[in-house]
Chain A
Amino acid sequence: MCKETPRCSIIAAATAGFERPQDCKVTVQLKTEGGISIRLHGANAHMFDRSIRQSAEDALRKLDVFHADVELMDFDSLDFTIRARVATAVRRAVCELQKAGAAVE
């Protein structure tokens, strides 16, 4: 998605999810370069660091996002929730990009 978007030079950020049990709050900032960076927070996030990162990376890859900073506050969420929240945050960020592009035009 991002690599095919001509307006990828514009950085956009968006958030999805909530700070509540079994959920997670994800902020995605789309970039034009620099690869993927994921920062995790949450009481038990260190225990599932690898699994959480894997889920977030899977979701980004599925949406063809290769350059993004992701901040994820985990509240004991399962993999499907992480993937969903990352996907929603990415879609919202892309939507912001498109709005910004439309405004420039």
Chain B
Amino acid sequence: MNRMRTMLFCPANQPKHYINAPVFHPDCIIFDLEDSIPPSEKDAARDLLCEALLALPFGSSQVCARMNSLRTPFGEADVRAIVPAGIRFLRLPMCESADDVSALDELLGEVEREHRIPLGSVKIQCSIETARGVLNARQTVSASPRVVSLSFGAEDYTRSMGVGRSTEGTELLYARMYLPVVAAAAGISAVDTVWADLGDTEGFIQEVQQAKSLGFSGKSCIHPSQLSLVHDIFMPSAEDIESAQNIISAMKQAEAEGIGVVTVNGKMVDEPVVSKARRILIQAGKGDDCNE
């Protein structure tokens, strides 16, 4: 798992976003080849992303591409172009079953071998966006060791459920409660859906706070103004960071001394406590990324 508090969406066919997005320091910039790109511009967006990957630095931000589904005429072409150009993180849209991930895993293996890229280098984020996708999420994220994250997409999800979207988000509750559990069980991160109403900052903050409390590790964002709010909410408190550092230090010392059980501030430290401490440090940007 690595730090994934914010994933900033940028349409991949607009040059300005490649220049501007890194300035805002999202944890991840997600260049979109899918929904924001009309079919007539898929080729141009793909070419622009490839050239940008070869030419530009993206600072501290990880770079991800939301590819087109392999069920479309564009998905395979996306992979064959952008992986050799340098992309190492793909969001696979409309993941509904383990077969969807297996198909991508197989294609990635082929492309990696063809271009002498170390096998398994390209990681996958499964985008869960339908009722079927939610129900199959456990199997889907377990289909390949490449899967390091899942994301939730509310627009297509509500369409698949035949319901509208409300400000309260009641219709999303089941999926937003279930998917972080799936992610935690699989040891991967979970990224919440976007908040589209840029004028309703209060509603956005409430939704981000709820996402955090439900166990999401971050949120997909559509505007730079959303980033600092999400970062602040997902930043652990100073006390939590200090406590987590003490736990990790004590655990390392115990390991070095061959001691099986250790206590910190009078409380026993076992694996769940250590895992939680690690997650806090990752969210604080003080942990070791462990994608492998």
Contacts and interface: CB of A to CB of B under 8 A. Distances in A.
A4 B241 CA distance: 61
A87 to B, nearest CB: 5
Contact of B51 (A21, A83, A91): A83
A19 to B, nearest CB: 12
A92 B140 CA distance: 37
B43 A81 contact: no
Given A21-B16, A22-B19, A23-B15, A80 B52 contact: yes
A23 B15 CA distance: 6
Nearest to B43: A88
A78 interface: yes
A80 B16 CA distance: 11
A53 interface: no
Interface string A69-105: 0000000011111011101100110000000000000
Q: Which of A23, A78, A84 has the most CB of B within 10 A?
A: A84
Given A21-B16, A23-B15, A81 B44 contact: no
B44 A78 contact: no
Given A80-B51, A80-B55, A81-B51, A22 B44 contact: no
A17 to B, nearest CB: 7
A16 interface: yes
**Prevailing SS type, chain A contact patch:** helix
Interface in A49-81: 77-81
Given A80-B55, A80-B56, A88 B47 contact: yes
Contacts of A21: 16
Give chain B's interface residue range (CB within 8 Å of chain A).
10 to 19
Contacts of B48: 80-81, 84-85, 88
Contacts of A22: 15-16, 19
Nearest to B56: A80
B50 interface: yes
Q: Which of A77, A80, A91 has the most CB of B within 10 A?
A: A80
Q: Which of B18, B48, B50 has the most CB of A within 10 A?
A: B48
Nearest to A79: B55
B177 interface: no
Contacts of A91: 43, 47
Interface in B39-88: 43-44, 47-48, 50-52, 54-56
Contacts of A16: 44, 47
9 closest residue pairs by CB, A with B: A80-B55, A84-B51, A80-B51, A84-B48, A81-B15, A84-B47, A88-B44, A22-B16, A88-B47
Interface of B: 14-16, 18-19, 43-44, 47-48, 50-52, 54-56
11 contacts: A17-B44, A23-B15, A80-B18, A80-B48, A81-B48, A83-B51, A85-B47, A87-B51, A91-B43, A91-B47, A92-B43
